[in-house]
C-alpha cells in the first residue's frame, strides 16, 4: 500500500499537544492512502474454484462519544476484505471478523481458518520449521460469505488520532463503539446494506462480539448470525481472584481432560478424555461447587474426600490440593501438572508443553501454547501482506499488543465499578430483540484460556426463554484455543458452520 502524495502537514491545532498532533497526522496519512487491491482464486475441498478480489483499506472512526469536532476522524482502522468476483453488491452474505486479546490483530482468524489463505502448523500444537508462508485454504469460509477482517484500534497498523481517543478505545464500551462505526461505514462505502450480516469473533473477540450484536441492532443492523470462537463473555468465570470461587469449579473438567491427555490419570479416569470429563463434570455439579461455597464450614471428612477427588481428577499431589485449600488455579496447574518432568503446560493449547528453567521456577515467562504459532503466523502474515496484497510499511504491525492489554479498561457503564466485564446480558438482549439472530459457539477441549466448561456455564446463564436459547449452538473440538490449527478440527469446524447456516 504505497503512500499517496501528501502536502506539508498543517500547523498544529490550538491547544493540541505534540503527541496528539503526531497521532492526528498519522491517522490523516493512513486515511489518505488508496486501498491496496489484488485478485486471487481458491479451489474448495469439493473442487469448485472461487475468484475473489481483495481490498485492504483504512476506515475512519467518527462515532459519537469521542472528543473532537463532529465528523472528525478519531482513528484509522484497517480492514481487509475478500469479495466474490462478479457478484452484485448485496447478493452475498457478509461476515465481519476480528480476534481478541484485547490487543490482538485479526491475522489468526484471517490466516487460520476463515480466509482463502492459511498458515499450516503441526496438528499437535508444536512449532513448525521455517520458512513460514500462507498457502491456499480449501476449507475457507469464503464459500459462505464475503469476508471483512478488522484490526481494532492499536492492533495491526490501526491507530487513534489522540491520547483521549486512544484511552476511550482501550475500553470495553469504547472498543465496541469504534468497531460498530467501522462496520457502519464499510457497509455504506461498499453498498452492502442489502447483505445478510454476520459477525465472527475469537476470545476477547467474543466479548466484543456479544456486545456488538446488541449495539448494531440499535444502529439498525440486524445480524443474521453471531459466531463465537473460544467464548469469553463472562470474565468472572475466567479470572482467579480472591473471593471469586467460580473459576475453580469451571476449570476443573478442562483440567481433567488435559491431565488425561498427558497420562496423569489412573484407573477408569485414564480410559478416555470423555471419561475424565464426565467424571469431573459430575463431581463439580454434585459436590465440588457446594464444597467451595461452604469454605471453612466444610467438615474434616468431607474436605479430605473432596481433596482426594480433585487430586484423582487432575493428577496433582493430594498434599498440593490441601495446600491450595482445594482451589487449583490455572497458574498452579500450568506449573505443577508436569513439574516432575520439568515441563510447563500451555495455556491456549494445553496439548503443547515447554521446558521449565533448570531451576524450575514458577515464573510465567511464556505460553508454550501460543509461542509455537505466534512467530510463524506473524512472519507468514507480513510476507502475505507485502508480496501478495502489496501492503508495504516499515511501521511495526502489532500482532499481540501487551500495552493494549495492560491498559485496557474493563469497567462498563456509568457506574464504572465492576472489574468483571460481562457482555452476556448484551447478547441475551440482542437475541430477544432479533428473532432471526442465531449463535454458533466453538470451544477447544484443550483450551485453558477460555475452557469449554466455563463456556458451558456462561451460555447456560443467558437470560432468555428456552425457545430463544434454542437458537444458540455449542460445538466442541479436540484442540486448543485456536482449534482450527488442527487439520481435523478445521474441517469439522467448517462442516459444523455449514450445518448451522442451513
Q: Kindly tell me the number of DSSP H helices and DSSP E strands found in the chain.
A: 17, 14
150-173 pLDDT, tens digit each: 999 999 999 999 999 999 999 999
Per-residue pLDDT, 415: 61
Give the count of beta carbons closer than 10 Å to the beta carbon of residue 250: 23
Average pLDDT over residues 479-493: 97
Cβ–Cβ < 8 Å for 374, 387:
no
Tens digit of each residue's pLDDT (9 = 90 or more) over 245-301: 999 999 999 999 999 999 999 999 999 999 999 999 999 999 999 999 999 999 999
Nine-digit cell string for 16: 493540541
Q: What is the pLDDT of residue 91?
A: 86
Going by C-alpha positions, the residue among 337, 307, 342 that lies closest to residue 324 is 307
At residue 362 the predicted structure's pLDDT band, cuts being 50, 70 and 90, is: confident
How many Cβ atoms from other residues are within 10 Å of residue 74's Cβ? Answer: 27
Residue-wise pLDDT tens digits, 291-341: 999 999 999 999 999 999 999 999 999 999 999 999 999 999 999 999 999
* pLDDT exceeds cutoff 80 at 392: no
Span 457-465, average pLDDT: 97
DSSP 113-180: IISSEEE---TTS-PPPSP--EEE-TT-GGGT-EEEEEE-TTSBT-EESSHHHHHHHSBHHHHHHHHH
HSE-CB of 322 using CA atoms within 13 angstroms? 10
Closest Cα to residue 248, out of 258, 256, 238, 257?
238
Segment 37-62 shows an average pLDDT of 96
Evaluate if residue 446 carries a pLDDT over 90: yes
Task: Inform me whether the pLDDT recorded for 420 exceeds 90.
Answer: no
Residue 4 pLDDT exceeds 60: no
Q: What string of DSSP letters covers 298-363?
A: S-HHHHHHHHHHHHHHH---HHHHHHTTT---HHHHHHHTTGGGTEEE-SS-TT-EEEPPTT----
Confidence at residue 3, expressed as pLDDT on a 0 to 100 scale: 47
What per-residue confidence (pLDDT) applies to 449? 97
Amino acid at each position: 500500500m504505497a503512500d499517496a502524495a501528501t502536502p506539508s502537514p498543517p500547523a498544529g491545532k490550538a491547544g493540541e499537544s505534540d503527541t496528539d498532533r503526531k497521532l492526528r497526522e498519522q491517522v490523516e496519512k493512513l486515511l489518505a492512502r488508496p486501498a491496496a487491491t489484488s485478485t486471487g482464486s481458491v479451489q474448495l475441498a469439493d473442487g469448485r474454484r472461487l475468484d475473489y478480489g481483495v481490498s485492504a483499506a483504512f476506515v475512519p472512526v467518527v462515532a459519537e462519544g469521542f472528543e473532537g469536532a463532529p465528523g472528525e476522524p478519531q482513528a484509522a482502522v484497517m480492514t481487509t476484505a475478500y469479495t466474490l468476483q462478479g457478484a452484485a453488491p448485496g447478493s452475498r452474505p457478509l461476515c465481519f471478523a476480528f480476534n481478541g486479546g484485547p490487543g490482538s490483530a485479526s491475522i489468526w482468524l484471517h490466516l487460520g481458518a476463515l480466509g482463502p489463505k492459511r498458515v499450516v502448523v503441526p496438528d499437535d500444537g508444536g512449532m513448525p520449521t521455517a520458512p513460514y508462508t500462507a498457502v491456499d485454504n480449501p476449507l475457507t469460509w469464503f464459500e459462505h460469505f464475503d469476508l471483512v477482517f478488522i484490526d481494532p484500534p492499536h492492533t495491526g497498523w490501526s491507530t487513534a488520532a489522540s491520547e483521549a481517543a486512544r484511552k476511550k478505545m482501550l475500553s470495553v464500551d469504547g472498543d465496541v463503539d469504534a468497531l460498530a462505526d467501522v462496520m457502519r461505514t464499510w457497509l455504506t462505502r461498499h453498498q452492502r446494506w442489502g447483505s445478510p450480516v454476520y459477525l465472527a469473533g475469537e476470545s476477547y473477540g467474543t466479548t466484543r462480539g456479544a456486545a456488538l450484536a446488541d449495539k448494531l441492532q440499535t444502529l439498525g443492523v440486524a445480524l443474521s448470525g453471531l459466531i463465537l470462537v473460544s467464548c469469553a463473555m463472562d470474565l468472572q468465570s475466567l479470572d482467579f481472584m480472591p473471593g471469586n470461587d467460580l473459576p475453580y469449579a469451571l476449570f476443573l473438567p478442562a483440567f481433567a481432560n488435559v491431565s488425561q491427555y498427558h497420562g496423569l490419570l489412573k484407573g477408569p479416569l485414564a480410559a478416555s478424555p470423555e471419561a475424565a470429563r464426565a467424571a469431573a463434570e459430575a463431581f463439580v455439579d454434585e459436590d465440588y461447587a457446594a464444597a467451595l461455597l461452604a469454605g471453612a464450614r466444610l467438615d474434616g471428612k468431607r474436605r479430605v474426600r473432596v481433596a482426594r477427588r480433585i487430586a484423582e481428577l487432575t493428577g496433582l499431589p493430594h498434599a498440593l490440593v490441601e495446600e491450595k485449600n482445594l482451589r487449583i488455579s490455572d497458574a498452579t496447574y500450568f506449573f505443577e501438572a508436569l513439574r516432575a518432568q520439568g515441563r510447563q503446560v500451555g495455556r491456549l493449547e494445553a496439548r503443547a508443553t515447554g521446558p521449565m528453567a533448570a531451576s524450575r521456577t514458577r515464573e510465567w515467562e511464556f505460553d508454550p501454547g501460543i509461542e509455537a504459532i505466534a512467530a510463524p503466523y506473524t512472519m507468514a502474515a507480513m510476507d502475505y501482506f507485502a508480496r501478495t496484497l502489496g501492503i508495504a510499511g516499515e511501521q511495526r504491525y502489532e500482532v499481540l499488543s501487551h500495552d493494549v492489554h495492560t491498559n485496557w479498561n474493563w469497567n462498563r457503564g456509568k457506574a464504572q465499578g465492576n472489574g468483571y466485564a460481562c457482555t452476556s446480558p448484551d447478547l441475551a438482549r440482542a437475541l430477544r430483540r432479533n428473532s432471526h439472530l442465531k449463535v454458533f459457539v466453538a470451544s477447544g477441549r484443550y483450551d485453558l484460556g477460555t475452557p469449554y466448561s466455563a463456556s458451558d456455564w456462561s451460555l447456560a446463564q443467558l437470560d432468555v426463554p428456552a425457545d430463544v436459547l434454542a437458537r444458540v449452538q455449542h460445538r466442541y473440538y479436540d484442540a486448543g484455543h485456536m482449534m482450527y490449527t488442527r487439520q481435523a478440527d478445521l474441517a469439522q469446524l467448517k462442516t459444523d458452520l455449514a450445518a448451522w447456516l442451513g
